[in-house]
Amino acid sequence: MTQATIRTLRPNVTQQEALRVFNLGGLRGLFWRLRNGPLQRLADVYVPYHLYRVRYEMGGAKHERIFALDAVDGSLDLFEFPAIPDRSQCEDLETRNHLQDALDDARAEALLREKVLRVLFQQGFFRLRGAPKLECARLPLELHMPYWLGLYGSDKALRCRVLDAVRRRMEGAKANAFFEHWLAAWSGGSSCPDPFVAREPSRPRRSSSARRPGRKAGSTSARSSAWKNSRTASN
């Protein structure tokens, strides 16, 4: 992992909020800690996404929607936005905790079509009419989505839980495996590879004046903007 300046959607979950979620987490969180041990580290990680404009016609009406597909392997859930995120919803961040694009354009579009059709089917849009023809166009905006990782276990048996920092939800086994695979590729089996920046859970929160430039993690308006303007596209 190399240091880079990336553009990311503003998170809706602060470090302290993420810490509370990982330390509490209800019965599922309790079971996780009993099985894997206490939370060892907390880290913010950023996944590259490609944005697409998808057009289709259904029932004589034309539709246009904005989706985002993860550019690593396309396995994470789609994001959907009512409009292309603008500068007020994003921030530029210098970090080493980011994944690299690995998905070629042809494979990305094929996965996007498959996932969008699944979304439409789940929403009941073409059960009686058949699948619509999709027109997909990739948009020029390169955007990363923020996630919080809770790292558990020993150096030889790393496990992680994942919190979507935009949609404010815990992810499932698919996302956990996605990030564990990435960590293992860089760490060679240790819990935290050298270039990976993570925080000890017990570390006190820094004052607002000490936060990294550009991050307004404590700002209600900054955190609520992206949350109100994105929603889950289950796939």
Annotated domain spans of the chain:
4-233
In the three-class reduction of DSSP (H, G, I as helix; E, B as strand; rest coil), residue 189 is classed as coil
Asked if the model's pLDDT at residue 128 lies above 60, the reply is no
pLDDT tens profile 11-56: 999 999 999 888 876 777 778 778 888 888 899 999 999 999 999 9
Q: Is 232 exposed, middle or buried (0-12, 13-18, 19+ CB in 10 A)?
A: middle
Q: What is the predicted pLDDT for the residue at 159? A: 87
Do 121 and 127 contact (CB within 8 A), yes or no?
yes
Q: What is the predicted pLDDT for the residue at 129? A: 65
pLDDT tens profile 62-95: 999 999 999 999 999 999 999 999 999 999 999 9
Asked if the model's pLDDT at residue 225 lies above 70, the reply is no
Dihedral sign for Cα atoms in the order 100, 167, 50, 4:
negative
Do 47 and 144 contact (CB within 8 A), yes or no?
yes
Q: pLDDT exceeding 70 applies to what percent of the chain?
A: 75
Q: What is the 3-state secondary structure (H, E, C) of 131-170?
A: CCCCEEEEEEEEEEEEEEEEEECCCCCCEEEEEECCCCEE
Residues 6+ apart with CB under 8 A from 213: none
